[in-house]
Amino acid sequence: MVNGMVGSFQLMKSLNKSLILNVIRTEGPISRAEIAKKTNLTPPTVTNIVGELLESNLVVESDLGNSTGGRKPIMLRINSTAFQVIGIDVAISHIRVIAITLDAQIIQSLKIKLPSNLTNEILLDLLIDAVNQIIQKADLQQQNIIGIGVGMHGLVNPDEGVSIYAPNLHLRQIPIRQALEEAFQIPVEVENDARAMALGESWFGNGQGVENSVSIYVGMGVGAGIILNHKLYRGASHTAGEMGHTTVDANGPKCSCGNYGCLEALVAGPAIVARTQTALREGRESIILQLAEGDFDKISGEIVYQAALQADPLALEILRDTGRYLGIGIANIINTLNPQKVIIGGGVSKSGEFILEALREQVQRRSLETPCQAVTIETAKLGGHATAIGAATLILRNLFAPEFS
């Protein structure tokens, strides 16, 4: 946080306060007496802190609850719509920006195309402009915005709020937090996009309430976010979850990282396209080329999916192979981490029905019986906004559960 930054949210320095706030968030509407019971704090402490929370407008009193005899207790809930968080997903070709309420309802969203001649300065200006646009579009008051979360592909140092290396944009050392905090004077968090997605799914998607889960993003690249004991795991130098660069076929195609047979080189969007193009050049019959208007360069993951919907045998085979490779990668992670849930997001997850069967078959075959029985594999709930919502959740995490930051 920028030194000397003012605002009512400095108040979360008190752990008891965030503890109470989080109980109200997860259990509300809830009475003061129930909060005391759940937190093991004394009733006077609860009353004091709730007083401060009411004053800050983060919490409001709602309807009366049921009484177990005597006066009906006053119930408390989070004033979800009084404050907003901005979430930004910096992808390869565009930026997605959303404004959400404290319970992750999307107020407004916008998508901005990235120009091809990017520099650090141009990107930072675009981000500042994007935040200004969403503030206007959603008619937000700056003093009610709790913070800005940014999910960025590539290597990110979340402690410094710096994008260390964004391979697809060919940019290095982008001081995202510094630039946005200077521009808006509110707290900014930056995290890798797949890890942000995992956090979002863990708070608001299919990972809710799950202690240990892995969310895998499969789109233009492949990355994962690992939640251990409800906490996002970063690793020793912020690269935990780089599952896209684990080897699943030692003799496989060359990957963007220089290695051969990485998961990413077999299941990401470009890999699906490359396999399709090779098969077509070898003379395989398919409606794919026709859907791409006869242009090899127009073939996309989306077109392969469209062809699969029309039961095109080549498309079905390509997606089955994708599911098979993804299943091998996921079996490895299941054996390593023993998660309760594996959640698959990103563009490729749209083809879920065509890849999941082969994927599950490989998981069954290759993961050990005990962890295999413990795990559920699902597609992501938050869809196209998963990374942006996850980025905003970085700020919500600081507010409601700083012990997990």
Shortest distance in whole angstroms from residue 238 CB to Zn ion: 17
Question: Which part of the chain contacts Zn ion (CB under 5 A), choosing from 124-132, 232-240, 254-262, 294-302?
Answer: 254-262
Give whichever of 262 and 291 is closer to Zn ion, judged by the CB atom. 262
Give whichever of 148 and 255 is closer to Zn ion, judged by the CB atom. 255
Q: Is 64 helix (H, G, I), strand (E, B) or coil?
A: strand
Shortest distance in whole angstroms from residue 2 CB to Zn ion: 36
Count Cβ atoms within 10 A of the Cβ of residue 280 and give its class: 0-12 exposed, 13-18 middle, 19 or more buried.
middle
Question: Which part of the chain contacts Zn ion (CB under 5 A), choosing from 125-133, 251-259, 356-364, 387-395?
Answer: 251-259
Shortest distance in whole angstroms from residue 66 CB to Zn ion: 57
Shortest distance in whole angstroms from residue 53 CB to Zn ion: 47
Strands 213-218 and 341-345: parallel
| Residue among 214, 255, 299, 395 that touches Zn ion (CB under 5 A) | 255
Binding mask 219-248 for Zn ion (x = CB under 5 A): --------------------------x---
What is the rounded CA–CA span in Å between residue 231 and residue 337?
A: 14
Question: Which part of the chain contacts Zn ion (CB under 5 A), choosing from 42-50, 123-131, 138-146, 257-265?
Answer: 257-265
Nearest alpha carbon to residue 108 among 140, 80, 82, 75: 140
Task: Read off the amino acid at residue 100.
Answer: I
| Residue among 62, 120, 259, 336 that touches Zn ion (CB under 5 A) | 259
| Residue among 15, 64, 257, 368 that touches Zn ion (CB under 5 A) | 257
Site for Zn ion in 36-55 (CB under 5 A): none
What is the rounded CA–CA span in Å between residue 74 and residue 54?
A: 13
Give whichever of 261 and 345 is closer to Zn ion, judged by the CB atom. 261
Vertex 28: Cα angle to 26 and 29 (nearest 5): 170
| CB-based contacts of 237, cutoff 8 Å, min separation 6 | none
Token digits of residue 41: 């704090």
What is the rounded CA–CA span in Å between residue 303 and residue 301?
A: 5
What is the rounded CA–CA span in Å between residue 158 and residue 189?
A: 7
Token digits of residue 207: 């990972």
Site for Zn ion in 261-280 (CB under 5 A): 262
Shortest distance in whole angstroms from residue 405 CB to Zn ion: 30
Give 109-130 as a DSSP string.
EEEEEPPSS--HHHHHHHHHHH
Shortest distance in whole angstroms from residue 176 CB to Zn ion: 25
The DSSP secondary-structure symbol of 339 reads: -
Q: Note whether 75 and 377 are within 8 A (CB).
A: no
Shortest distance in whole angstroms from residue 148 CB to Zn ion: 31
Q: How many residues at the interface with Zn ion, by CB under 5 A?
A: 5
Shortest distance in whole angstroms from residue 256 CB to Zn ion: 6
Give whichever of 65 and 167 is closer to Zn ion, judged by the CB atom. 167
Instruction: Give me the residues that bind Zn ion (CB under 5 A), please.
Output: 245, 255, 257, 259, 262
